Amino acid sequence: MSVLAPDTSALAGAGGGSVDITGVVKRFGTSTAVDGIDLHVRSGEFLSLLGPSGCGKTTLLRLLAGFEQPDAGDLAIDGTSVLGLPPHRRPVNTVFQAYALFPHMTVAENVAYGLRQKGLRRKRVEAREIRRRVGEALEMVRMGEHAQRSPNALSGGQQQRVALARALVNQPQVLLLDEPLSALDRKLREEMQVELKLLQSGLGTTFVFVTHDQEEALSMSDRIAVVLDGRLQQVGVPEDVYAEPASAFVAGFIGKQNFLPGHLVQPGVVRCPDGTLATRATDLPDGSAVLAAVRPEAVQVTAAEPAGATNRVRGRLAGVAHLGDTVQRVVVTSSGLEVLARSPRVAADPGTGEVGAEVWCGFAPEHVHVFPSTQTPGSAP
């Protein structure tokens, strides 16, 4: 993959605006799509709203854009409330999942559309200003040579770049993006993730990005806000959301996770069907029904029983998958639980490669999180 850093100097004038969402509620009939969310987005930040379909993240984005109005709460940009303002009077622009380019217009005309809607052609000199800014926006997304082409003659990735240029040419304080990469194939999507982050960093514009793809959120965001059933589950930098999940849902939704049911017999000790596990500290009372959670990359599969203070669970190797530089193993324990383990190919124990072999799963106590069993684990998409 070859990604060039875009030249954003020409369009970096507006800067990024902060966003304050305070007690916002949005209902559709008897259904509550957004349920009292409080969230502060910092100026110039790339924040991702992450969650499963129907969790309320797109509704929240539409509230910020002005396409919906909240039933309660306040929305402010740079400290000024935007409640009641129509979309064109808010210092924001939106890039949708469907790029919504006008097929009867050229690429350049599509990018210029928003400027013309703002009335910049009322003076003769402003026609030149439109051409200049459109040209700069297209060069920024490396689409200058396609200015006179029809959107129908462009690839999906090229259309995505044009949609970005159309949104950014207005120099919004906040850019709202509703799963704009979901229609692209995996390779192009990964390339565009890098380009989009470089673009945001160069512009200094505040990006609020909606996605259900946890890998996308982890790779691009300054912070992630995890949403479920219209409520925030956790807000933090990617490293913390991944390594320190606040709930079983977050633990399961962000990356892969093994959940082992059991009971807390004393602080830091969980008794499971396959043995007793030492865990991280928890403030849950003794006797609580819990879920012990451990990431696949923290699990080591060995032919011999692990020594020392490492947790150990015995089972049968049920499957091996080779994922390039990573080896993935599925171990079925004596109680019937499936434990997923991932390790670098160079670190994998060669004695565990045969399906059906008796093996051990070992993992350190500090990698085991404990959640109440009443919490529902999320499933990574």
pLDDT value for 75: 98
pLDDT in tens, 188-218: 888 888 888 988 988 899 999 999 999 999 9
323: which strand partners?
326
**For residue 226, is pLDDT > 70?**
yes
pLDDT value for 186: 83
Options 3.40.50.300, 3.40.50.620, 3.40.630.10, 3.40.50.1100; CATH of 9-244: 3.40.50.300
With cut-offs at 50, 70 and 90, classify the pLDDT of residue 2: very low
Lowest mean pLDDT among 104-118, 284-298, 332-346: 104-118
Question: The whole model's pTM is what?
Answer: 0.87
pLDDT in tens, 64-105: 999 999 999 999 999 999 999 999 899 999 998 887 889 999
> Residue 332 carries which side chain, given as an amino acid letter?
V
With a pLDDT cut of 70, the percent of the chain lying above it is 91
Which ranges in 67-224 belong to alpha helices (H)?
A: 107-117, 124-140, 156-168, 186-203, 214-220
Residue spans of the domains in the chain: they are: 9-244, 249-372
pLDDT value for 121: 43
Q: Are 154 and 189 in contact (CB under 8 A)?
A: no
pLDDT value for 322: 87
**For residue 122, is pLDDT > 60?**
no
- The stretch 172-185 carries a mean pLDDT of 88
pLDDT in tens, 3-51: 445 555 555 545 689 999 999 999 999 999 999 999 999 999 999 999 9
**For residue 1, is pLDDT > 50?**
no
**For residue 133, is pLDDT > 70?**
yes
With cut-offs at 50, 70 and 90, classify the pLDDT of residue 128: confident
Cα four-point dihedral sign 281, 37, 235, 296 = positive
Q: How many residues does the chain have?
A: 381
CATH fold for the domain made of 249-372 = OB fold (Dihydrolipoamide Acetyltransferase, E2P) (2.40.50)
pLDDT in tens, 262-293: 999 999 999 999 999 999 989 999 999 999 99
Q: Write down the mean pLDDT value for the chain.
A: 89
DSSP category for residue 17: P
**For residue 175, is pLDDT > 80?**
yes
Number of neighbouring beta carbons within 10 Å of residue 136 = 18
> Residue 203 carries which side chain, given as an amino acid letter?
L
Task: Tell me the backbone φ, ψ of residue 359, rounded to 5 degrees.
Answer: -135, 175
Query: Which residues have a Cβ under 8 Å from the Cβ of 91 and sit 6 or more positions away?
Result: 14, 17, 77, 78, 172, 173, 174
With a pLDDT cut of 90, the percent of the chain lying above it is 65
pLDDT in tens, 156-171: 888 888 988 998 888 8
